Chain A
Amino acid sequence: MNRFNSQQRKFLYLGGILLLLIPIISLGMPADSKGEAAGVIARQRQEYDLGESDLGKIDPSSAAMNLVLLGLRGVAANVLWVQAEEQKNHKDWAAMRATTESIIRLQPHYVKVWEYNGWNLAYNVSVEWDAVSDRYFWVKEGGKFLQEGVNRNRNSSDLLWHTGRIYGPKIGLSDEARFFRRFFRADPNPIYEGNVDPEFNPTDEDNYLVAKEWFTRANDIEGQGNRQTIMDRSIFRSYPARSQLDYASALQKYGFNEEYDRRAANTKLTEEQQAAMQLEVRDKLREQTRTAWEQGFKDWTQSYGQEEYTVDYRGDILRIRMEMTEEAIKDLAKTPTDYRKIADAVMAYQNMTNYRYWRTRALCEAEPDTAEAHWLLFAAVEEYRKQNFEKAHEHATRVMALLEEIFKKYPELEIEEDMVEDGITAVIIWQNFYRFNGERPPTDFPLKRIYDERATQLPEYERKFNRRFLPY
C-alpha cells in the first residue's frame, strides 16, 4: 500500500466507486415517465410484468412487511407455511385463514401459492365442515382468494382458469350442488338478507355463466401470449363453451325448482296460483333452457370449434380445428397422406375433448321437440306428485313418443345418461298408471328397446324416481 500516498489512494477509491457505479446504474436505474431509458432491472420488470404498479393494486402492507422483516422474507414465508399446515391439522381454521393471508402478502406473485391456497380453502377446508352453509362459505373463501390473486397477477391465465373452476364445477357439480347453486343466488349468511354475496356474485347470475366469464378471460389472457400451464391447449380453450353447455344442463336439472322457489319465496299462494305460477315458470324455463343449448351449440361449434391449433400428432406438426369438414381438410392437405394425417389428428383431438358428443347433445337439446320432451316429463312428474295419474300418464306417453323420435335421430345420445333416465322415468310413470288402475301395462311401447336393455338397472332407476318426490 505504500506505493501510493494518501492522496493517490483517495483518487483510487474514488475511481473504484465510479467503476462500481456503472453497473449499478445500468442495472438499477428506474424508468423515466415515458418508460424509456430505464436500467436493465426496470426494463426486465416491465418485460416480465413484475412491477407492482403494473399488477393492479399496489400492496403497501406487503412493502411494510418487507421492511419489518429486513429481507428475511423467505424465512418468514417458510415459517408461515409450516404454521398454516399445522393450523390445518389442528382444524384451527380461523388462524389458518389469517396465516394464508400473511403468506400471500409475502409471496404475492407466486401463482402456485395462490392456486394451492385457493384450492385448499375451497376444497380441503370446505369438506371438513359439517353444515352445508359452512361448506359453501369456504368455497366462497377459496373463490374470493383466487380473485384476489387474479387482481395481483393479471397476466396469469392459470389463476383465471382456477377461479372459473370454483364457480363452475365446484359449485355446480359437487354433491352439494343443489344447495350450493341456490346459495350462489341467495347467500345463507344472514348479513346478506337472502340476496347474493356481492363480493362473490356481484351480477346475480347463474354460477356457470359467471364461470364462463372467467374462462373467457382466461382464454383472452392466454391468447395474448401468456402461456397456461395446466393442460393441453385444445382442452383449455374449450372451457367457456363447456360452461355454456353445463349451464344449459343445470337449467334443465335444477332450473325449474330454483326459479319456482325464488318466485314463491315469501309469498303465500293458493293452490291455483301455485299451479299458474308453475305453468308460467315451466314455459319460461323451457325456452330459456332451449336457448341456452342453442347458445351452447354455437359456442361449441362456432367459437371453440373454429379455433386453430398447432398440434404435434405422431411426430407431425399439423394445424387443425375441431370443427373440420372433409372439404376443409382437403383444402389444407396437399397430398392424400396429408389428408389422412390431418383427418386422424382431428379425430383424435375430437375424441380427447369429447367434441362430437357435445356437438350432438347441444344440437339435439336445442330442438324444440327435445325441450318439449323434457318439460313434459317435468309436468308428468309434477302431476304424479299431485296424484293426477291420468294427466301424468298423458304427459308421459307424449314424452315417450318424443324421445323415441330423438333417439332415432341422434342414436349416439343413447349413452347420455340424463336423457335415458328421463325416458325410463316416463316409462315408469306410464306403467304405474296402469298398475294403479289394476291393469297390466301394454307390452309394446315406445322406448321399449332402451328400457329392456337396462333391465338390470331398473331398481336403481326406481330409486332415483322415488327420490324425485322427496322435498328438495
Chain B
Amino acid sequence: MSTSGASREAVIEIRNLSKIYRDFWGRKKVRALNSLSLDVYKGEVFGLLGPNGSGKTTTLKLLLGLLFPTEGEISILGEPASNVSKNERIGYLPEESYLYRFLNAEETLDFYGRLFDMPASVRKERTEKLLDLVKISHARKRQLKEYSKGMTRRIGLAQALINDPDLVLLDEPTSGLDPLGNRDMKDLILDLKKQGKTILMCSHLLADVQDVCDRIAILYGGELKVLGRVEDLLKSQNQTQILSSQLTPAALAEVEAVLKKHDASFQVDHPTASLEELFLRTVQESKERPGHRLVTPDSKSQAG
C-alpha cells in the first residue's frame, strides 16, 4: 500500500493557513484555523478528522475558494484556490445535500455536466454511467426533494464525479448511509483510488476512515494535532501484537510460558478499534495541553 516518499507529488499544499471569522464590524469572532500546514499527495486517500468545530470543514471550504484565507497560502492542483479553472479537475461532495431539490437526477447531472462545458453526447454518456455506478438509475426521473437521505448522498457523489475529477473532496461521505450503502461508498472510494485519483475526505466515522484512508490528520481547535499514515499511527513502538486464529488453550499456555521466560510483561486480550482510541486520546490530550503537537510519525518517516 505504501508509495515511496520520493515519487510523491503534492496535489494540495497548505502553508500556514489561518482563518479568522469576523463579525459585521470587522471584529474578531472566531479563530477557526491556526497556521495549518499540510500536503496531500497524488493518488492517496487522505482523511481529515476532528471533533465538531475543529476546522475540518473550514479547511475544505478554503480549499474550494468558498472562503478566503486570513493568512497563508493554498495551492491546489498547482493553482491558487481563488482560480476557478482549477475546479475543472475537482469533484466536491458537500456535507449535506445542497443540490437543487426541484431538479430530477438526470437534470441534476446534466446541469452540472454543462457547468463543465461538456458537449451533450458526453454528458449523456457520463450521466448513464454515474447513475449506474451510484445505483439510482431507477429513480432518475424523480425530483430530488422526494429522495431519501441515502439516495441524496448517492446523487451527490454522482455529481461530484461528473467531470471524472483528479481530486475528489468528500465531506462526510458516509453520513446517513445504511451499512450496505456505507460498504458501497467505501468500495467506491477505494475504486477511485485504484484509478489513481486523489481523495480528501472529512469524517466523524472513524471506522470508515480507518478502512479507506492512507493518511490522516486530526485537527482540534483549528490546530493540527496528529498527522501520519494510519498504520504508523496505530503502531505502538514498544508494544507487539500477536494475532492468531484458532489458538488452542494449550498453545496459548505455551506462548505465555515463552513470554514469561523472557520476562516480558504481557496481557492477553482481543484487538480493539484503536483509531477510536487514538482519536479520543488526542482530543483528551489537546484539552489538557493546548498548542502542543502530539505525534508526527509521518514527518519522521519522511525524514527517514
A touches B (Cβ under 8 A): no
**A contacts, CB < 8 Å to B:** none
Q: Interface on B for A, CB 8 Å cutoff?
A: none
